Structure 1
Amino acid sequence: MRFLAGIARLICAVNLIVGKTFAWLALAIVVVCFTVVVQRYLFATSYVWMQDLYIWLNGAMFTAVAGFALLRDDHVRVDIFYRPAKMKTRALTDLIGVFLFLLPFTWIVYVYSMPFVQRAWSYQEASANVGGMPGLYILKSFIIAFAALIALQGVAMIIRSILILSGNAELVPKSIQYNPDRIAADHPEGAV
C-alpha cells in the first residue's frame, strides 16, 4: 500500500509542478492582450502573430492546468450529496466516477485527437492566418498532454479511494486528502 501511496504522491507532484508553472501563462496572456489593444488603438498597428499568441497561450494554459484543477478539487461538481458524505462514501463515489466517466473520457480524447495531432506534426502546421505564428502543431500537442494529465490524476484518485476503502487512509498523500474545510472555505456560498 505504501508503494501505491508513493505513486499517487508522484502523480500529484507532477500535476502540481505543471499546474503552478502553466498558471503563470495567465499573466503572459494579459500582457500580450493588453499590448495588442494598445498597438491597435494608440498606434494603429497590429501583428497577427501577437493575436495568435494570446489565444494560443490561453489554450496551452487551460489544457495544461486541467490535471492541477482536478488535484485541487477545483472542477465543477454538484456536491449536495458528496460534500456531507462520509469519507468512505466519497472514496467509493470517486472510484466509480473515475472508472465510469473520467478514464473513458480521457481515452476518447486521446484516441480521437492523436491522428489530428500527428497530422499537424507531419507537416509542422502553422497558423492559418497570413503573418501568424508558426508551431501550431506544438499547441495541438497540448490536447494529448491534457488527456494524459487528467488520466494520471484520475489514477491518483483511484489510489486514494483504494487506500481509504482498505482502511489505510493514513497513507493517503496530503495533497489529495479529502478536506471539507477547504471546500467550505473556497466556496462559502454553498455547493459548487
Structure 2
Amino acid sequence: MQNVLATVANIINRINAALGKVVSYATIAMAIVMFGIVVLRYGFSLGWIAMQESVMYLHAAVFLLGSAFTYQQNAHVRVDVFYRQYSKRKQAMVNLLGSLVFMLPVSLYIGIICFDYVIDSWSLLEGSREPGGLPFVYVLKSFLLIFAISMVLQAISEIITNTLRLLGHISFSEDENALNAKQQEHI
C-alpha cells in the first residue's frame, strides 16, 4: 500500500513539476511582451489593448499555474521563525497538519466557488470588455480551476509524503528526487 501511495505522490509531483516548468516560460514571454509594449508605446507611439492584456494573462498563468510547483518545492511564503529550528520529524508533522487543515480545504473551497464562475464564462465564450482586447477571458478564468486542482493534488501528495515519513517508510533525509528515483525502481 505504501508503494502505491508513494507512486501516487510521485505522479502528482511530476505533473506539477511539468506544469511549473511550462509556466516558467511564461515569465520570459511576459518580459519580452512587456519590453515590446514599452518600446512600441514610447518609441513609436503605438499600443494595442490585446498586447497589454496578454501580459495580464501571462502574469495570471505564472502565479496561478506555478503555485503548486512552488508549494512542492517548499518555496512558498511561510513564517520560518520556529519552523526552521524544528527537527525533520516535527517539520513533517507541521507540513502534514498544514496540508490537512489549511491547504486542502482552502484549495477545495476555491475550486468549488469558482466552478460556476468559470463554467458561465465558457458558456458565453467571454471576451474582453475593451475594444481590441483578447477574446479569451474564459481561458483566463479557467486558470482559477487549474490552480485549485493542482493545489488539491499537491496537498494530497504532501499529505501522503509526510505521512509516509512519519510512519518511517521514507527517511527524513530523503529528498524528493531520491523518492522519485526510488519509485522508478518499483515501477
Taking structure 1 as the reference length, what is the TM-score of the superposition?
0.87
Pair 1:51–1:90, CA change in 2 (3 A): same
- The residue that corresponds to 1:188 in the other structure is none
| CA-CA distance at 1:99 after TM superposition | 1.3
Paired residues for 1:27-66 under 5 Å: 27-66=28-67
Higher helix share: 2
- The residue that corresponds to 2:184 in the other structure is none
Structure 2 Cα separation of the partners of residues 172 and 145 of structure 1:
32
- The residue that corresponds to 2:146 in the other structure is 145
- The residue that corresponds to 1:79 in the other structure is 80
Structure 2 Cα separation of the partners of residues 80 and 171 of structure 1:
21
Greater than 3 Å deviation, 4+ residue runs = 170-174
Structure 2 Cα separation of the partners of residues 158 and 14 of structure 1:
16
Deviations 1:121-150 (A, max 9, x none): 011001111100011101110100101111
Pair 1:117–1:173, CA change in 2 (3 A): farther
User: Residue type of the partner of 1:23?
Assistant: S
| CA-CA distance at 1:173 after TM superposition | 7.1
- The residue that corresponds to 1:7 in the other structure is 8
CA contact (8 A) 2:88 2:172 kept: no
Structure 1 Cα separation of the partners of residues 102 and 20 of structure 2:
22
| CA-CA distance at 1:172 after TM superposition | 9.2
User: Residue type of the partner of 1:132?
Assistant: G
Structure 1 Cα separation of the partners of residues 174 and 110 of structure 2:
28
User: Residue type of the partner of 1:156?
Assistant: S
| CA-CA distance at 1:102 after TM superposition | 0.6
| CA-CA distance at 1:54 after TM superposition | 0.8
Structure 1 Cα separation of the partners of residues 68 and 137 of structure 2:
22
User: Residue type of the partner of 2:100?
Assistant: F
- The residue that corresponds to 2:182 in the other structure is none
Q: Does 1:128 align with 2:129?
A: yes
User: Residue type of the partner of 1:116?
Assistant: Y
Unaligned residue ranges in structure 1 (runs of 5+)? 178-192
Paired residues for 1:101-120 under 5 Å: 101-120=102-121
- The residue that corresponds to 1:91 in the other structure is 92
Identity of aligned residues (%): 32
- The residue that corresponds to 2:183 in the other structure is none
Structure 2 Cα separation of the partners of residues 5 and 126 of structure 1:
42
Taking structure 2 as the reference length, what is the TM-score of the superposition?
0.89
- The residue that corresponds to 1:186 in the other structure is none
- The residue that corresponds to 1:180 in the other structure is none
Q: Does 1:164 align with 2:165?
A: yes
Deviations 1:39-72 (A, max 9, x none): 1111111111101111111111211100000011
CA contact (8 A) 2:20 2:65 kept: yes
Structure 2 Cα separation of the partners of residues 22 and 47 of structure 1:
24
User: Residue type of the partner of 2:133?
Assistant: G
Number of residue pairs matched? 177
Pair 1:80–1:171, CA change in 2 (3 A): closer
C-alpha RMSD over aligned residues: 1.7
| CA-CA distance at 1:80 after TM superposition | 2.0
SS at match of 2:148: helix
Unaligned residue ranges in structure 2 (runs of 5+)? 179-187
